[in-house]
Each structure stands twice: as structure tokens, then as C-alpha cells.
Amino acid sequence: MVTSRPAYEVAAILREKHLPSISSNSWNLRTLYAISKCRTAAMGGHIDRCNHPDCGKIHLSYNSCRNRHCPKCQGHLREQWIQKQEAQLLNVPYFHVVFTLPDHLNEWCLLKPALIYNMLFKSAWETIHGFGHNPRFLGAQTGMIAVLHTWGQNLSLHPHLHCIVPAGGLSVQGKWKSTRSNGKFLFPVKSMSKVFRAKFLDALNKAGILDPLLHEKLTSKKWVVYAKRPFYGPQQVIEYLGRYTHKIAISNHRIIGVDKDTVSFSVKDYRKGGKREICRLAKREFIRRFALHILPKGFVRIRHFGILSTTGKKKYMEVIHEQTGIVKLAINKEPLMLGLCPSCKVGRLQTIAIFNDRGPPGYLLAQINRQN
């Protein structure tokens, strides 16, 4: 986990530009404004005092924006979410499956993002669900956790789903059944790609947006479904979830340079084996690309399906655990020690003052300055 403070921040770049001239989407503008003000005096804040008798130091904290697209607001949310998954992990192998949309759909992703991204979730799950129920491949009810990512390394629009799929499922008799080769093989990816494309095209057609020209473009190229080798165990699944669930388009740590006109950030070129390179964009273009990945209000980007859905876990988890065993992982709880004094690491912080954008009370600010 990266702990050093980044040299540059997305928020600082946003504060430099006149945002209304960059986007006409009111929701996107609200999001960009919130990120630009995160943990600054404009958000207001609070002053806390350590309750330990040997410490008693006071600390100034500005409020965070709590926006899910903000690079500074995802750390503890990610850890909280991951720790909740511990009791819901299955003691079986898992596969990492990626469903990717072709770039011919990028225009529709911008025009109707909720519609297209919902289709992506639905078509991906219908593909996994269908292969799972097929006796030729598994013949059981399986599940899936899917996380939507919309970006490429250079912040271009590249919608795809990262999914974890257990290597097995429950048969109609209520018995756990592993996939082929004792869970070492999921389903044939070429067949999955064809089924995924057919289901997505059918969804587009039902929505009334599959005209002949678009149909020709989408059927003239292969669709990508990629299944990586299975995870070695539940610990790997947790690490995977940590990397992907609350990831955003770009982290502050990837930004390596900002000058008067441009932003430079590191990218991985997967066509060259993940070689690190530098991408340099004009600030306006950097913000425009960043805004491409702001999801519609209320859109759910982490979804659970089948035996891993809320209903499925209530119905099947106990039965599966009885047959496969219960997973118990040693997960670092430290990130959730919110309210711990950063000075003595023992006492708890107690709020003694709350302030708005006018700033903290002068006498308390003077105490903090003397203390520091």
C-alpha cells in the first residue's frame, strides 16, 4: 500500500481550470467541484483533541468530499468493504474474468452511460450464468462479483468489467460441484465471447439503438472475454478486490509532473509487457478525460450475482461452507482504526470544535501553531 504523500493531486489541477468551460454536464461539474475542494478550508472541518492523559494534542482536519471518484477518499472505504467480504468468501478457487466492450460503442457510452453499462453487467452475468447451468461445462448455479472500470491507462474511454467467478457452483441437489480439471478451468473463452456479443447485441436491439451500420461494425470484429488463471487461494481474492473495487480513473501517485500547461503521468503499455511510459496531456484535455469516467448519479459499479448475491448468500452460504470449509483470513485491521491519535497512536480523538468555510476558531488555531 502506498503511504507516501503524492507530489501532485488531481484536486489541485481541477482548481486551476474554469470547470464550466470544460463540461456542460451538471452532475459531472458537481463532482469535479467536490473533488477540487476535498480536504480544503472550503469544505469546513473539525478540531479534535487526544483523550490520552500523556498526550492531549489537538489536531486540525478538513472535511473530505466523500465522492467515489475522488483519489483521496477511497482508502478506508476500500478497506471497510474488503473486510466485509471475508465472511462471504468461499473456500474454493476463483477465476478473474474480464468482459470488454468494443470502442464502436464509446459514443453510446457517453450518450447513455447508465443504459450501456447496465447492459454490460446484464450480458456478462447472463453469459456466466448460462455456461454454469450448461451440463457440458458445469451444470450448477454459480456466482459472480463484477466491478465496472471505464478507463484505459491513458484515461481514454475503455469500458470493461473485472469479475471474480468461483470455480464451481451448487447443483440442483445442493451439492458443491467444481468446474473442469478440479477447478483449474472455467469455460472456453472463445465460446464465451460469442455468447457475450450475441446477448449484448440483443440488448441493444431491444433498446432500439442497433441500426444496420452499428450492427455491421460490432459483428465485424471479435469481442474480448479474457479469463486469467485461477487465484491460488482466498487471500489472493482479497488482494484482487483491494486493487479493483474502489479504484478510480487515475490516482494522485501516478501524476509525476505538472507545469503551466500540461500534466504528465505514468502509464503501463500492456502491448509491451506492461512497460512503464509517460503520457503528457494538456491540462484541459486531462480534465476532459478524467470527467469521462464520472458515473451517473446513483449508479452501482460493484455488483453481486447468483450464489454471491445478497439473496444467494443468505440462501446458500451455510450449505456451501459445510461442504467446502470456512475461510478465515488475517486481514490488516489498522486502516479502520479511525479516530486514533496520529501523535501518540494510543489515545482516541474527541471533537472539540466544528467549523465551516470561514475557518477554525482563532484561539484553537493559535494553540495548534504553538503545539507544532
For residue 342 the three cell numbers come to: 496520529
Q: Is residue 101 part of a domain?
A: yes
Residue 327 scores a pLDDT above 90? no
Are residue 99 and residue 207 in the same domain, yes or no? yes
Are residue 59 and residue 158 in the same domain, yes or no? no
Range of the domain at 366: 10-68+338-371
Tell me what the pLDDT averaged over the chain comes to.
89
Rounded to a whole number, what is the distance in angstroms from the first to the last CA of the chain? 28
**Residue indicated by cell numbers 487471500:** 235
**Residue indicated by cell numbers 456479443:** 197
Are residue 22 and residue 48 in the same domain, yes or no? yes
pTM of the complete model: 0.90
Residue 336 scores a pLDDT above 80? no
227 touches 184 (CB < 8 A): no
Q: Is residue 266 part of a domain?
A: no
Beta strands in the chain (DSSP E): 45-50, 58-62, 94-100, 143-151, 157-166, 168-170, 176-178, 224-227, 255-258, 262-269, 275-282, 302-306, 349-355
State percent of the chain over pLDDT 90: 69
Residue 356 scores a pLDDT above 70? yes
For residue 14 the three cell numbers come to: 481541477
Identify any residues that bridge with 90 across adjacent strands, giving them in sequence order.
326
pLDDT, tens digit, 9 for 90 and up, residues 82-123:
777 766 788 888 999 999 999 999 999 999 999 999 999 999
Domain CATH code at residue 127: 3.40.1310
For residue 42 the three cell numbers come to: 472550503
150 touches 158 (CB < 8 A): yes
Q: Is residue 268 part of a domain?
A: no
Q: Is residue 32 part of a domain?
A: yes
Give the number of domains in the chain: 2
pLDDT, tens digit, 9 for 90 and up, residues 9-61:
999 999 987 777 777 789 999 999 999 999 998 999 999 999 999 999 999 99
Are residue 239 and residue 361 in the same domain, yes or no? no
How sure is the predictor about 335, in pLDDT bands with cuts at 50, 70 and 90?
very low
**Residue indicated by cell numbers 477447478:** 183
Q: Is residue 123 part of a domain?
A: yes
Are residue 318 and residue 344 in the same domain, yes or no? no
